[in-house]
A and B are shown apart, each in its own frame.
Chain A
Amino acid sequence: MGKFHSKSIKLNIFNLQISIPVNKLLFGLIIVMFAFGLYLVLVVTRVDAEQQMAQKIFYFHVPSAWSMFLAYFLVLIAGIQYLRTRAEKWDRFGLASAEVGTLFCVLVLITGPIWATPIWGTPWSWEPRLTTTLILFLIYIGYFMLRQYGGDRKQIARLSAIIGIIAFIDVPFIYFSINLWAERDQVHPQSDMGGQPTDVLGTFLFMLLTFTILLSYMIRYRMHVLELDTKLTELEHGI
């Protein structure tokens, strides 16, 4: 696998040449961070008097939502860059971000209702942020269908870049209108993290960092596989 990994960190310790691929390094880092994060969540943080263990779902739910939004934001950036430069790597970046973002989107849509079941008594109450996530998920189903049926590679790249841009422009409208529409309903747990005690805030920020690194690892890995895939198709079709 080594020769296909283009990027690696080269260390020189006591005249010993060590070269570690960035992806492997990230992978190891994520496992260590996740284990430590789990320790923080289970042992260090206090247990909420009312919600008890259900409150701790929040350490996974919110970072997933953050990763999703970040990934979809990267789809926007990739779309703009692709339309400007027409470099295929931006298309791969956009597709990888869209796929990984949708995975986190599904995780948000699963973990949210699991939390809401005991706390609100119902899995789905059209809570604004979850509803926005659901609509984003539906938009991205369209995005992947477009990629499936899009015709030649250049056209797929161009059209899906445009959809990525439109989707992100639409997000504030969706969130604002649904928020206003669902005013009467349950309020989402407050996002005022400044007032939280150190153990809660620290663990939360640590999980946020872990998920961000996880996201970057997944996007990088997916891009790498997509690049290999392109190479293979080109070779098979003799381009």
Chain B
Amino acid sequence: MLRVLIKKDLLLEFRSKEIVVSMAAFGISVIVLYALGFNASSEEFLKFSPGLLWMMFLFISVLGLHRSFSIEKEFDAFGLLLSAPVSRSDIFLSKWISSFLFLLMSQIIVLPIFFLFLNVSIPKEWLLWILVFLIADLGITALGSLVSGIAMRVRMSEVILPILLFPLVTPLLISVVKCTHGLFNGLLFEEWKIWFQIMVTFVLVFGVTGYLIFDYVSEE
């Protein structure tokens, strides 16, 4: 059942391409604004780029999360989904995985542009780099899917979502920025291992929380 739900989200996106395209476009414009607004040399950027990078990803994930849940609101698709014989926890998992995939796809588009425009050199340990990305994306979208499931039910959801999500996601943002900083500056894994561990715990805790609590979120 989970596979069907994810397939539905991906198929919708494959046909319209609206989520990934809008996320990537927004990301690129933020990068251009960074470059123009800061007007800094690449050494100066190296210092701030981990924070800038993940702030930008946080912004675009809010965009994607909101869109991927508000699609369900149109034509009352969410009501139909709830009346279908699907477990609510599976709805959470499918939303989590599909928004994770959307975030990943838009990052694949945006990331080269980030390195190119801001003249930041690409880290060498690409395997660790990919791992950090996967874990951080899973964390953002786990908490993000849970919170946007809540925000979707209320008026002004586009405002409520970031207001609730940003403070809740701070520990993950701090950790991933520290990890990215370590990677950009070629520090040893041992030196920022603790931040990686926080991220993994965060993903586990909020994945399980979302799985258990989404039943109550999606009640009629």
Q: In the complex, is A directly touching B at CB under 8 Å? A: yes
Distance between Cα atoms of A174 and B217 in the complex (Å): 23
Q: Is A53 an interface residue (CB 8 A)?
A: no
Please, how many angstroms separate the alpha-carbon atoms of A166 and B148 in the complex?
Answer: 13
Q: Which residues of A contact B160 (CB under 8 A)?
A: 142, 145-146, 149
Tell me if B's interface is mostly helix, strand, loop or mixed: helix
Point out the residues of chain B lying under 8 angstroms from A142, CB to CB. 160, 163-164, 167
Across the interface, name the chain B residue whose C-beta is closest to A131: B170
Contact A177–B174 (Cβ < 8 Å): yes
Total of A-B residue pairs, C-beta within 8 Å: 87
Number of residues of chain A lying within 8 A (CB) of chain B: 31
**Is A150 within 8 A of B153, CB to CB?**
yes
Size category of the B interface is: 20 to 34
Q: Given A158-B216, A166-B209, A177-B198, are A149 and B156 also a contact pair (CB < 8 Å)?
A: yes
Cβ contacts A173-186/B at 8 Å (1 or 0 each) = 11011101100000
Nearest 4 pairs of A and B residues by beta carbon: A142-B164, A173-B171, A138-B167, A177-B171
Contacts of B125 in A (CB 8 A): none
Contacts of A167 in B (CB 8 A): 168
Task: From the candidates B154, B171, B178, B194, name the one contacting A146 in the complex (CB within 8 A).
Answer: B154
Q: Are A162 and B213 in contact (CB under 8 A)?
A: yes
Binding site for A on B (CB under 8 A): 143, 146-147, 150-151, 153-156, 159-160, 163-164, 166-168, 170-172, 174-175, 178, 194-195, 198, 201-202, 205-206, 209, 213, 216-217, 219
Is B194 in contact with A180, judged by CB distance below 8 angstroms? yes
**A135 at the binding interface (Cβ < 8 Å):** yes
Interface string of A117-153 (1 = CB under 8 A from B): 0000000000000000001101101110110011100
Q: Which residues of A contact B219 (CB under 8 A)?
A: 158
A159 proximal to B (CB < 8 A):
yes
Q: B104: shortest Cβ distance to chain A, in Å? A: 23
- Least Cβ distance of A70 to chain B in Å? 20
**Contact: B178 with A159, CB < 8 Å?**
no
